[in-house]
Chain A
Amino acid sequence: MSRFTEQFKRSFVIAKKNIKIYYSKGPVIIFGLVFPLFLALAYVIGRNIPLREVLPGIIGMTTFFTATSVGPSIVPWETRSKTLERLLCCPVAFWTIIVGDMLASFLFGLIISVIPLVIILVFNVGLLNFMALLFGLVIANLCFSALSVLLSAYPPTDIPATSMMLSSLVKFPLVFISGVFIPIEQLPQWGRIIASFSPLTYFTDLARQFILDKGYYPMMLDFLMIVIFASIFLFAAVKLHEKTLTKRLS
């Protein structure tokens, strides 16, 4: 077995451990699923907006919040309990641990974000291409999971609450500039420029294309940008975590 395959296999072992320890908790499910749902309800209640119009935003938010719900706190938590040291003593590459943390967020995010898809099927909301949306969901989850691990890289704290607070400072503004509540075409020029720097913009746009048959960017660009963001986030997460590791362990 090649070294890469063996290390990737070990990433799954770490991911499985993370899901068991960090993701099977009630508050995580509440923050990942119930919270975005209520945020969406707060937006639509009292306004005569059909479910179909709201669904892209709900899918975008659920995917985004779920995939980033626990990721930022894993490394600080493991630093504090010294279990990060335990993992680093094992024959695993540093990227194996980071990918393991990312995979846990990804798998958890994927499971939870299937729920809006079930809503689509149950309420018989017409969908242009279910499989393409599912593929979009997979790559978006990968992208947001990588972001969640990146969010824990700096500062190299061992206090999970600090990391969660700082990640919220990034996550919440992203929701409001990514066309979740207001479609991008309705944003002013400066808003559109800012929106183009958010990975959530491209996934929401993708969901709008498949559900409403209208999008702002070409579909291929949406896919491509999500993949590019995912690659940048993962690369940056590995490098930043590596750079801050000595400080984290001291």
Chain B
Amino acid sequence: MNFAIEVQDLTKHYEDVTAVDHINFEVKNGEIFGFLGPNGAGKTTTIRILTGLIKPDVGKASVANHDILRNPIEAKQCIGVVPEVSNAYIDLSAWENLTLIGKLYGVPKSKLHENATELLKEFGLYEVKNKLVRGFSKGMKQKLLLCMALINDPEVLFLDEPTSGLDVESARLLREKITQFNKEGKAVFLSTHNMEEANQLCHRIAIINHGKIAAIDTPENLRIQSMELQYIEVLFNKPVDLQIFSENPNISKASFAGNKLRISTANPSAVIEFLADFAKQNGIQILSLNTLMPSLEDVFIKLIKEKEAALK
């Protein structure tokens, strides 16, 4: 099977720090692959290696079937990159930035003008195409960066925290465009802090911490793997004592969230039975009861904690 990205045993050290530690993963063609991790986990280093900016100390990586170490030019010809920090030329206009990148990708002139016009219109920047980027808002700069990443019609798109610090509308537009790009059968490598974004967009997610991959799976499977993080939210018509619930062996944690009782459990059916009995015996009514799956954020925190505990 041909993969959009293939990483084998990738390792990178910065003096005494191991930024990326023997990681392995593949990104399938047509997949949106999320790369999650806390600050300093190794996300940006991985992206920098995969986009040919830095060389790993150990390991191999290929992008669009080109070895990024042996054939970096060919590999880079097939990718588009939206970096973490805006790096368009602020002393050039949007149009000049876009055509500069297009020329560096060797896009033929007529095609370049067609692509640039289309992208600027699509992202609502056509009216300001001749204005210097210096005067652009963060949202406009981020849209321009995505235009620059798409100017060569790449096979694989790398995005490093693309919606960080953006207003809701701009972030939504960017997510829509990423989904649209993916619908054309192209792969997306998305590094993000935003769990909800990863949940909405990604087919699979890798969680990285201290340079090591803690888990790779679909968002749903990651949640299923952490079933002990399921919780039940219940609302009674009368106040109840928390102590009673804490003593139940099926309940790992009980706390109040507003007027609702939130119970963490790996065995929701047993707890629901217990709650029904408790209500009946005490003449209390259950006004509402919801069983909730763990959020991706819960899974993320759990995996990171497990990894840190293992390291200790």
Q: Chain A interface (Cβ within 8 Å of chain B)?
A: 3, 6-7, 9-10, 13-14, 17, 20-21, 81-83, 85-93, 245-246, 249-250
Q: B46-63 vs A: 1/0 string, CB under 8 Å?
A: 001001111100000000
With contact pairs A82-B83, A82-B85 given, residues A250 and B14 touching in the complex (Cβ less than 8 Å): yes
Contact assessment for B53 and A88 in the assembled complex, using a CB-CB cutoff below 8 Å: yes
Interface size on B, residues (CB 8 A): 30
A137 to B48, CA, bound (A): 41
Q: Chain B interface (Cβ within 8 Å of chain A)?
A: 14, 48, 51-55, 73-74, 76-77, 79, 81, 83, 85-92, 96, 100-101, 103-106, 148
B86 to chain A, nearest CB (A): 8
A89 to B103, CA, bound (A): 13
Specify which chain B residues have a CB less than 8 angstroms from the CB of A6 in the assembled complex: 106
Known: A13-B100, A89-B81. 10 other contacts (CB 8 A): A6-B106, A9-B106, A10-B106, A20-B92, A81-B87, A82-B85, A89-B79, A90-B105, A92-B76, A249-B54
A33 to chain B, nearest CB (A): 22
A249 to B47, CA, bound (A): 13
Specify which chain B residues have a CB less than 8 angstroms from the CB of A81 in the assembled complex: 87, 89-90
Specify which chain A residues have a CB less than 8 angstroms from the CB of B91 in the assembled complex: 20-21
Contact assessment for A89 and B52 in the assembled complex, using a CB-CB cutoff below 8 Å: yes
Residue in B51, B74, B88, B90 whose CB lies within 8 Å of A89: B51
* Closest residue on chain B to residue A90 by CB atoms: B104
A113 to B292, CA, bound (A): 75
Contact assessment for B73 and A93 in the assembled complex, using a CB-CB cutoff below 8 Å: yes
Contact assessment for A85 and B83 in the assembled complex, using a CB-CB cutoff below 8 Å: yes
A245 to B55, CA, bound (A): 10
Contact assessment for A86 and B88 in the assembled complex, using a CB-CB cutoff below 8 Å: yes
Contact assessment for B83 and A92 in the assembled complex, using a CB-CB cutoff below 8 Å: no
